Amino acid sequence: MNVIAAQNTFNVLDFGAVGNGNSDDSMAFTKAWTETCNANAETPTMIIPIGKTFLVAPVNFSGPCKSYIYVQLSGVIKAPDGTGEWTNGTWRWLQFDNITGLNISGSGQIDGNGQKWWDKSCKYNPAKAISFKNCKNVSMSKIYVVQSPQLHVLVFGSQDVHFQSLIIKSPEASPNTDGIHISHSDHVTVQASVIGTGDDCVSIGDHSTNIIVAYTNCGPGHGISIGSLGKDGNVVHVENITVKHINFYKSTNGGRIKTWQRGKGEVRHVEFSYLNFTEVENPIIIDQHYCDIRGQCAKTETGVHISDVLYSNAFGTSATDVAINLNCSENVACTDIRLDNVQLESADKGKQVVSSCNNAFGQAKGIVQPKSCLLP
């Protein structure tokens, strides 16, 4: 290693990490991050080397740092076995907090070791594998993220966050294992990735703006969802969402917007385009009657206003009879919903598919199959 490299590279092995998959390497990772974050050198880089598996308990990689930080992830980072080591109270395993300028790349793997979590209560053990909280100018590419206890990747309160060429995988039966969840964030992109989990491939939560999901394969899982929004009657604001060039394979939903009946606020300027569906249960769906808590699903006088939503160039097969389902609020109608060149057929040869609309207004153009039920 030359002098310049020695000043700006920080290998976790040099800070005491063993990398045998059994020894606790948490302290070594914390020390290596601290040195990298505080380095005055150009392009300071934390190195997690290839050929090693590092057992790491929940850690917080916090900033601010003195310069743009690089993390070269070539090896495997593995979470503890079960919930006992998750003692930070936030149920977040690898959290990057308050950092401006971060690049995580390589050919490495992040293993959430979540098998023992999946039979536990999601409500009381809401674990996240990787979190970016209050960060700016972040990129992560070419990383393999697997077996998360719940959420694989969380983005919260952050701006200019970009994911590319990720592979995110957990079993179809693993509960609440969203691939990427985005909330209270602006300018986030997900591109050229492969996501197959037990929940949404990508979920977009409240106060999210200027989000792009593109050129990505989704399935198995629950599709790409805006929501759920408006739980507990919250006022929501989501706008400028683009989902395009997506292959959905045997997912329960395709392009979905879901809100709670008691929610308020608005979702607007949404585009779902160039979508390919293979045996998807609900290829095109707006559900404003979402509720997963018994006794809290009564109709109210509120509702989130959904407007300016485009579904265009959508093709493929539906695993259910209702291929287009626009189930909007009885109190606040969906407006300016547009269908443009949508051609869906049944995955069961010889069966017909239909459209279903409730208080949905808009227009259709080009070939729309099944026939549009939008009110003019």
Q: Annotated active-site positions, please? A: 199, 222
Please give the structure tokens belonging to residue 313: 């160039």
305: exposed, middle or buried (C-beta count within 10 Å: 0-12, 13-18, 19+)? buried
Q: Residue 207 in contact with residue 230, Cβ under 8 Å?
A: no
- Positive/negative CA dihedral, 274, 280, 285, 291: negative
- Positive/negative CA dihedral, 153, 221, 285, 346: positive
Measure the CA–CA gap between 210 and 67, rounded to whole angstroms.
Answer: 26
Q: Which residues contact 54 (CB under 8 A, 6 or more apart)?
A: 12, 17, 18, 19, 21, 25, 29, 48, 75, 76, 77, 78
Whether the bond between 228 and the residue before it is cis, its omega within 30 degrees of 0, is yes
Which parts of 41-122 are beta strand (E)? 45-48, 53-55, 59-62, 69-73, 76-78, 92-97, 100-105, 109-111
DSSP assignment string, 319-369: SSSEEEEEE--SSS-EEEEEEEEEEEEESSTT---EEEEESEEEEEEEEEE
54 has which bridge partners? 77
Nearest to 193 by CA among 159, 225, 160, 153: 153
Cα distances from 302 to residues 259, 264, 270, 325, 329, in angstroms, run: 11, 6, 21, 21, 9
